[in-house]
Copies of this chain bind each other. A is one copy, B any other.
Amino acid sequence: MQHRKEKKKKKSPILSQLSEKIGDAPGQCRFVGERKIDEPAIRVFQYDASEFREINENDPEKLPQVLRQESVTWIDVSGLHDKNLIEKICTRFFIHPLVIEDILETSHRPKMDEYDDYLFVILRIIGYDDQKDEIVNEQLSLILGDGFVLSFVERPNPRFLQLVERLKNPKYRIRKEQSDYLAYALMDATIDDYFSTLEILGEKIETLQEELLSDPQPDMLEQIHTFKSRMIELRRAVWPLRETIGKLERSESELIRPTTLPYFRDLYDNVIQVMDVIENYRDILAGMLDTFLSSVSNRMNEVMQRLTVIATLFIPLTFIVGVYGMNFEWMPELKLKWGYPAVWVLMIVITLVQLRYFRKKGWF
């Protein structure tokens, strides 16, 4: 059925988000979203100040057993379509059914929920897919427990690979920190992507802006609208993040140590800055829309004006030649030898006077 759906007209992101939500019993888990990779992958990393190792444990039932006092364990699950797998993992860690449901429904707004033994955080992974020319908007679910972090993503995240590299190097601060710092690092890597995405979009917007000023084309209207709706999409992903991280900062959970708080505060500043940039581009796009509309209307008016000037130039001339096309018997001018050249002179004079008047008025 998944296959047939792909052949059908693709649903818009909002619509598919809606259809995912409908009609289940609460607390009943079902994967809702697009299947993005073939096989879900579980990677387990464990480290403390002295040691880092990747543990090969694919049996979800045994995952809780790899946790070790004094070490931080990071379990990264990529691919969410295998509902049973996710459910098994979460149940072993005593995660609330509603949290599992939230992990499997990949259209959630960023949020932070506090449970007795863990914190549950949802973020949006934002990227830009150059081939498809569209925003990538996926869900990252984080569970921060005592000594471990569970991360659930729809497909393997390259930023997380970079983080793994950093984890291998004992000189980095993260090796000396607890699971709350790991959660912070994952969120930081995710928010870094927002900056990259905004940079790509920003370059495109500024290129479009320059083209718009030099040579406005009708199809630019649609491009401006596309960028506007992308900015709205980004905004919707980032806006609730502010509150989410604010809640983490103010949380009184013991899972977040006071020494990690400055890092979350820094994250908060970054989110504010992302929002700032988004608002900025929205302002720019609104200005571009104004410019576009007024340039189109100016251009049209200018065309009309020039044509009208041409028409007006010829109107008196046509009148004059009409006069001497009349068939009155007594029209003395017609008999004069210099009548014809005189009419030409008259017409040239009239034209020149008109041209001068128009030029003075700045009409062309």
Interface residues of A (CB under 8 A from B): 12, 14-15, 17-19, 21-23, 25-27, 96-98, 101-102, 107-109, 111, 113, 115, 162, 166, 172-174, 184-185, 188, 192, 195-196, 198-199, 202-203, 206, 213, 218, 221-222, 225, 228-229, 232, 236, 240, 262-263, 265-266, 269-270, 272-273, 276-277, 280-281, 283-284, 287, 289-291, 293-294, 296-298, 300-301, 303-305, 307-312, 314-319, 321-331, 333-340, 343, 361, 363
Q: Which residues of B contact A309 (CB under 8 A)?
A: 307
Q: Which residues of B contact A263 (CB under 8 A)?
A: 26-27, 98
B319 touching A329 by the CB < 8 A rule?
Answer: no
Interface centre among A102, A172, A325 (most CB of B within 10 A): A325
B17 touching A277 by the CB < 8 A rule?
Answer: yes
Q: Which residues of B contact A287 (CB under 8 A)?
A: 225, 228-229
B305 touching A272 by the CB < 8 A rule?
Answer: no
Interface centre among A206, A213, A263, A328 (most CB of B within 10 A): A328
Number of copies of this chain that the complex holds: 5
Taking CB as reference atom, which chain B residue is nearest A218?
B298
* Alpha-carbon gap, A337 to B107, bound state (A): 82
Q: Which residues of B contact A19 (CB under 8 A)?
A: 195, 199
Q: A265-B113, A277-B18, A310-B315 are in contact. Are A291 and B202 (CB under 8 A)?
A: no
Q: Which residues of B contact A331 (CB under 8 A)?
A: 327, 340
Taking CB as reference atom, which chain B residue is nearest A107?
B273
Given contacts A26-B185, A115-B262, 18 further A-B contacts (CB under 8 A): A15-B203, A18-B202, A21-B192, A25-B173, A102-B269, A107-B273, A108-B269, A113-B262, A113-B265, A303-B305, A304-B304, A307-B311, A314-B318, A314-B319, A318-B318, A319-B321, A325-B325, A330-B338
A195 touching B18 by the CB < 8 A rule?
Answer: yes
* Alpha-carbon gap, A305 to B50, bound state (A): 77
A340 touching B325 by the CB < 8 A rule?
Answer: no
* Alpha-carbon gap, A297 to B299, bound state (A): 12
B98 touching A266 by the CB < 8 A rule?
Answer: yes
A103 to chain B, nearest CB (A): 13
Taking CB as reference atom, which chain B residue is nearest A322?
B321
Taking CB as reference atom, which chain B residue is nearest A289?
B290
Nearest 10 A/B pairs, CB to CB: A321-B322, A324-B326, A325-B325, A18-B199, A328-B340, A21-B195, A300-B301, A307-B308, A314-B315, A307-B312
Q: Which residues of B contact A108 (CB under 8 A)?
A: 269, 273
* Alpha-carbon gap, A196 to B312, bound state (A): 53
A314 to chain B, nearest CB (A): 5
* Alpha-carbon gap, A203 to B339, bound state (A): 62
Taking CB as reference atom, which chain B residue is nearest A313?
B315
Q: Which residues of B contact A195 (CB under 8 A)?
A: 18-19, 21-22
B14 touching A281 by the CB < 8 A rule?
Answer: yes
* Alpha-carbon gap, A294 to B206, bound state (A): 23
B340 touching A330 by the CB < 8 A rule?
Answer: yes
